[in-house]
A and B are shown apart, each in its own frame.
Chain A
Amino acid sequence: MKIKKWLSRLPLWLYACMILPFLAFGLSNQGVSYFSVRDIPRIWTDEAMKDWELPNSNPAYSAQPVSEAFYYKLPERVIYKTYPVYHPDYEPEGYWEWLHEQEAEIVFDESKLVTEEDWIKAGELLFDYPIDTLGAIINTQHVRNPYFYSSTGMPLTPEGIMPFAQWVVAGKGKVYLGNLSCAMCHTRIMEDGSLLKGAQGNWPGDKAFAFALESDGVSERGVQGITNILFGSPFVEGDPHGKLLASGREFILEAYKAVPEGAFGRQGTSILYPPQAPNLIGVKDRKYLDHGGLGQHRNIEDMMRYIAMNQALDFLNFYGDYNSIGLTKERLNNGEPIFFPGTHDRHSDAQLYAIAKYVYSLTPPENPYKPSTVSERGKIIFAEQGCVTCHTPPLFTNNKLTPADGFEVPDEHFDKYDVFDISVGTDPGYTLNTRRGTGYYKVPSLLGLWYRGPFLHDASLAKLEDLFDPARLRDDYVPTGFKPHDIKTKAVKGHEFGMELNEGDRKALVAYLLTL
């Protein structure tokens, strides 16, 4: 009672002073970005996962992801310090032995992340972090073999570093080759040797995988099995992947080798219709993710979902009753862990948040192609040719989905999605014949064309000029980018704009496109 009495005698101004620190904290929150772990959204909820992805082009086989309960039961990933992988001829002396002397170092601690910059920095670390150390694509033996680099045409930095994989040190003497980081497909070694993170990568992943399968002497059954896990889609009309498997080991390996740098047959896609590795610089402004626009991108939560799903958790998806790693729904949910790369653990929501923040922060390097008289003429041609309708400035995409030939847009899609109801006639294989196919292709942004390539969703054209070459429409054309393993020539049809331009106008148009 005495304390109460004493408190009541204190002057009002003293109470006001006691409130000041709280006010200051509140105000400072408006000026500088602070994140509390409590602000991190819970992204894998049953409600959110229901309609975040677009349905498959055959809706009966739309992806059914694991439940919220299943997802959050998976253990969170521990992020260890990683080390660069050198071509053996460039490896500093004693490096290998030194790596084995290192202790494990845990490098992600969300409690230490305060400012936006902290989160972005942590996100970069996670972007580079491999989620697999089981040898999902390549393993230690492969990268320590000089022949691996020459036979795959592996790009290296001037220091001889292969930046698409990392050494993960999980304890003294525990040095594992890490696969399946974001950086694996979204890092580009530029002509001058510099690294461009987030760009359309130039990791020759399918060639590397073919090397691994061949050098490990994997049997025909083994090659068929893993190829089916990656791309199997038996519910698709004509089952093209079933036919690929039936063609035998050598043909399958040739199919892997046919996929050029800049494209990658990631799980759920195809090496028959390999997707161009997407450029992530500027992804913040895009409304759909994946070439088929599979994932809606309405906010950072969608981006986090995409990262979680696409870093291998889609192996647990069911498509009708089909699961690519051979699970039944009973087995999936019986509580036993599933040991398959990327499916036995998960990123925490905070880790996903950090990666998303990093990806959003990516900016392009300075463009060496400056506007000129020629490019200014190309700018007018760009408008005259109607390019602006789909590739609308300033994003150079209208952020819409175009149906592929053979896909009829369901009426309800017009209200749910951003549909630009016209096909430009490009190869419909990817979006009609794969697990990730939606029946659509998203209109790509043209920003950063100067550091990208090969072009088109299937990476079939190596150079921008090839797009305006009328010869590409003929059946005797040899695609300059991706060419399927079992044919010698193939017309690259579709997107037939600017085909009638004279050479001067074509050059002007390309000059303009390179300035974007």
Chain B
Amino acid sequence: MDIGYLDIVLAPWRSLRILCASCVNLVLINKKNRLFLVFALVPCLLIAQSVKPESPIQFKIKNAGITVDGMISDWEVEVDFDSKRLDQSSIRGKANPESIQTGIKLRDKHLHGREYFHIQKFPSISLESKSFKAKGKNAFVGIFELQIRDVKREVEIPFTLSQTGRQQKFKGEFVIDRLDFGLGEKSLVLSDEVRIIIEF
């Protein structure tokens, strides 16, 4: 099932209204400059839009040898990505750790607490791109700043982009050390490494 994609070309009307407002005095500008402005504004058609993907952020962590599958369902992402203009592209995401689910409600509640996400104090997780590099056809690597709790760290996320017409679909996977972000403490049974899979 193809769930969660971002159609960045069919931008919401709200953004177009903003664009139109910017262009209200277009007729007053001379022809040469008008042409320049049209080209200059083309990238703006790709203006970042915040969407709530249907597919949750997934994560996997080993606990006593068993892989626990978890997800964070409430999140949104803002994408302005052009594979030909990587230096001008950006991806930003924001997730609500309160929506974490691991299959055991009490465990989820514990993850909300101060030992883990401490949602009362840190109600969101954020991810913001810093730079991108192409790594082959439709494959990229992005350097992102990931903030969990009050810890900001750079993470490298390899991802793929599949484009069908004007639809873009991203899929990335990376690993973090939960201890780097103050998520729990060293444990004899719970792995430090968490694999995160993001798809939208």
Residues A388 and B114 in contact, CB atoms below 8 Å apart: no
| Cβ contacts under 8 Å, B102 to chain A | 386
Q: A422-B109, A424-B106 are in contact. Are A388 and B64 (CB under 8 A)?
A: yes
Q: Give bound CA distance, A119 to B47, whole Å.
A: 78
Per a CB cutoff under 8 Å, which of A393, A422, A424 touches B188?
A393
A–B complex contacts, Cβ < 8 Å, 10 sampled: A383-B64, A383-B65, A383-B66, A389-B110, A389-B189, A393-B64, A393-B189, A420-B110, A421-B114, A422-B106
Residues of A within 8 A of B113 (CB): 421-422
Chain A contacts of B66 at CB under 8 A? 380, 383-384
- Give A371-386 interface residues, CB cut-off 8 Å to B: 380, 382-386
In the complex, whether A417 has a CB less than 8 A from a CB of chain B is: no
Residue of B with least CB distance to A384 = B66
- Residues 83-121 of B, flagged 1 when their CB comes within 8 A of A and 0 if not, give 000000000000000000010101101100111000000
Out of A383, A393, A414, name the residue touching B114 (CB < 8 Å). Answer: A414
Which residues of chain B come closer than 8 Å to A420, judged between CB atoms? Answer: 110, 115
Find out whether the CB atom of B189 lies under 8 angstroms from the CB atom of A388.
yes
A-B pairs, 6 with minimum CB distance? A383-B64, A388-B64, A421-B113, A422-B110, A383-B66, A388-B189
Contacts of A392 in B (CB 8 A): 187-189
Among the listed B110, B188, B190, which residue makes an inter-chain contact with A421, where contact means beta carbons less than 8 Å apart? Answer: B110
Q: Are A386 and B107 in touch, CB under 8 angstroms?
A: yes
Q: In whole angstroms, how far apart are the Cα atoms of A384 and B65 in the complex?
A: 9
A497 at the interface (CB under 8 A from B): yes
Q: Which residues of B contact A (CB under 8 A)?
A: 63-66, 68, 102, 104, 106-107, 109-110, 113-115, 187-190
Contact A386 B63 (CB under 8 A): yes
**B114 and chain A: residue at smallest CB distance:** A421
Instruction: List residues of A (391-436) whose CB comes within 8 Å of B's CBs.
Output: 392-394, 414, 420-422, 424
Among A383, A389, A414, chain B packs the most CB atoms within 10 A around the CB of A389
> Which residue numbers of A lie inside 8 Å of B, CB to CB?
380, 382-386, 388-389, 392-394, 414, 420-422, 424, 496-497
A393→B66 CA distance, assembly (Å): 14
Q: Collect the chain B residues with CB atoms within 8 Å of residue A497's CB.
A: 104, 106
Known: A384-B66, A422-B106. 6 other contacts (CB 8 A): A383-B189, A386-B104, A388-B190, A389-B110, A414-B114, A422-B109
Tell me the bound Cα distance from A497 to B104 in angstroms: 9
Smallest Cβ-Cβ distance to B115: which chain A residue: A421
**How many Å from the CB of B96 to the closest CB on chain A?**
19
- Cα–Cα, bound, A394→B63 (Å): 14
Contacts of A380 in B (CB 8 A): 66
Q: Complex formed: what's the CA distance from A294 to B123 in Å?
A: 34
**CB-CB < 8 A to A383: which residues of B?**
63-66, 189
Distance in angstroms between the alpha carbons of A196 and B167 in the assembled complex: 71
A97 vs B109: C-alpha distance when bound (angstroms): 65
How far, in Å, is B157 (CB) from chain A's closest CB? 28
Chain B neighbourhood of A389, CB < 8 A: 63, 107, 110, 189-190
> Using Cβ atoms and an 8 Å threshold, which residues of chain B touch A385?
104
Q: How far is the CB of A118 from chain B (nearest CB, A)?
A: 35
Tell me the bound Cα distance from A392 to B190 in angstroms.
Answer: 9
B106 CB contacts on chain A under 8 angstroms = 422, 424, 496-497
Q: What is the CA–CA distance of A385 and B187 in the complex, to the nearest angstrom?
A: 17
* Complex interface: chain A residues within 8 A of B68 (CB): 386
B115 engages A388 (CB within 8 Å): no
Instruction: Enumerate chain A residues within 8 angstroms of B107, measured Cβ to Cβ.
Output: 386, 389
Measured in the bound complex, the distance between the Cα atoms of B66 and A380 in whole Å is: 8
B contact residues around A386 at 8 Å (CB): 63, 68, 102, 104, 107
Residue of A nearest to B189 (CB): A388
- Cα of A384 to Cα of B109 in the assembled complex, Å: 17
Complex CA distance for A159 and B109, rounded to whole angstroms: 53
Q: How far is the CB of B67 from chain A (nearest CB, A)?
A: 10
| A388 CA / B114 CA spacing, docked (Å) | 20
Whether A388 touches B110, Cβ cut-off 8 Å, given contacts A393-B188, A393-B189, is no
Closest to B102 in A: A386
A343 to B187, CA, bound (A): 43
Q: Kindly list chain A residues whose C-beta atoms are within 8 Å of the C-beta of B63.
A: 383, 386, 388-389
Of all chain B residues, the one with the shortest Cβ separation from A395 is: B188
- Shortest Cβ distance from residue B169 to the other chain A in the assembled complex, whole angstroms: 32
A165 to B64, CA, bound (A): 44
Residues of A within 8 A of B115 (CB): 420-421
Q: Which residues of A contact B64 (CB under 8 A)?
A: 382-383, 388, 393
Residues in B whose Cβ lies below 8 Å from that of A414: 114
A510 CA to B164 CA, complexed, in Å: 53
B118 to nearest A CB, angstroms? 9
A381 nearest CB across to chain B (Å): 10
Report chain A residues within 8 Å CB of B190.
388-389
Q: How far is the CA of A421 from the CA of B184 in the complex (A)?
A: 11
Q: How far is the CA of A137 from the CA of B64 in the complex (A)?
A: 46
Q: How far is the CA of A384 from the CA of B102 in the complex (A)?
A: 11
Compute how far the CA of A382 lies from the CA of B64 in the bound complex, rounded to whole angstroms: 9
B65: shortest Cβ distance to chain A, in Å? 6
- B65 contacts which chain A residues (CB < 8 A)? 383
> Which residues on the B side are within 8 Å of A496 (C-beta)?
106
Closest to A381 in B: B66
Residues of B within 8 A of A421 (CB): 110, 113-115
CB distance from A180 to the nearest CB of B (A): 38
CA distance A496 to B64 in the complex (A): 20
Contacts of A424 in B (CB 8 A): 106
Closest to A414 in B: B114
